[in-house]
């Protein structure tokens, strides 16, 4: 009798056309697969710069994130260079800081971009912290509402 094993669902944002099959790990005791995100949206003139997330998914559907196994933790790939998530965030912040400095030097400010960046940052914090004890989620939700109101005013 053939026994079928149901595969876990792929995570949100995954590139379903660019997936690897489950394969046994070095010990032969468990299996894993590498899942890839869709490429990040970039302007057309940067389309050859492939930016995406790669992560190890276990048969229970979880994504390895502890660094204590032989499997890799989630990694951001930028044009063939790999960066752990914390380093990718640091790189993104450094790029944003330099873009802001360029705006300061040239006396140009894209108000809509500034508001979009504020919204993105507060939304990311809200998603990560909304279930924490205390009312951090409430404060962040209120901040999101205030940013949305400010965005409406400058339109």
- Determine contact, residues 25/70, Cβ cutoff 8 Å: yes
Domain finish residue from 83, 99, 115: 83
Predicted TM-score (pTM) of the model is 0.71
Give the domain range for residue 76.
23-83
- Determine contact, residues 33/58, Cβ cutoff 8 Å: no
pLDDT-derived band at 149, boundaries 50, 70, 90: very high
Q: How far apart are CA 138 and CA 144, in angstroms?
A: 10
Domain finish residue from 68, 83, 98: 83
Tell whether 79 and 94 lie within a shared domain. no
Q: How far apart are CA 5 and CA 59, in angstroms?
A: 10
Instruction: Read off φ and ψ for residue 147, nearest 5 degrees.
Output: -65, -40
Beta strands in 21-90 (DSSP E): 23-24, 31-36, 51-57, 75-78, 81-84
Q: How much is the pLDDT for 116?
A: 85
Tell whether 149 and 98 lie within a shared domain. yes
Tell whether 54 and 111 lie within a shared domain. no
Tell whether 94 and 136 lie within a shared domain. yes
Residue 140 has pLDDT above 90, yes or no: yes
Q: What percent of the chain has pLDDT over 70?
A: 93
Q: Per the domain annotation, does 65 fall within a domain?
A: yes
Q: pLDDT tens for residues 49-96?
A: 999 999 999 889 999 888 766 667 899 999 889 999 999 999 998 998
Q: How much is the pLDDT for 144?
A: 93
- Determine contact, residues 25/71, Cβ cutoff 8 Å: yes
Segment 126-139 shows an average pLDDT of 89
Segment 137-151 shows an average pLDDT of 92
The count of structural domains within the chain is: 2
């Amino acid at each position: 009798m053939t026994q079928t094993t149901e595969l876990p669902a792929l995570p949100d944002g995954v590139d379903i056309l660019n997936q690897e099959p489950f394969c046994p790990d070095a010990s032969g005791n468990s299996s894993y697969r590498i899942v890839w995100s869709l490429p990040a949206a970039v302007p057309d003139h940067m389309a050859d710069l492939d930016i995406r997330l790669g992560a190890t998914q276990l048969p229970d559907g979880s994504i390895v994130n502890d660094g204590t196994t032989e499997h890799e933790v989630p990694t951001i790939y930028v044009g063939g260079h790999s960066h752990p998530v914390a380093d990718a965030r640091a790189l993104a912040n450094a790029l944003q800081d330099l873009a802001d400095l360029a705006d300061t030097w040239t006396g140009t400010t894209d108000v809509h971009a500034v508001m979009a960046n504020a919204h993105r940052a507060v939304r990311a914090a809200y998603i990560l912290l909304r279930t924490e004890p205390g009312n951090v989620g409430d404060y962040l939700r209120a901040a999101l509402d205030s940013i949305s109101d400010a965005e409406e005013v400058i339109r």
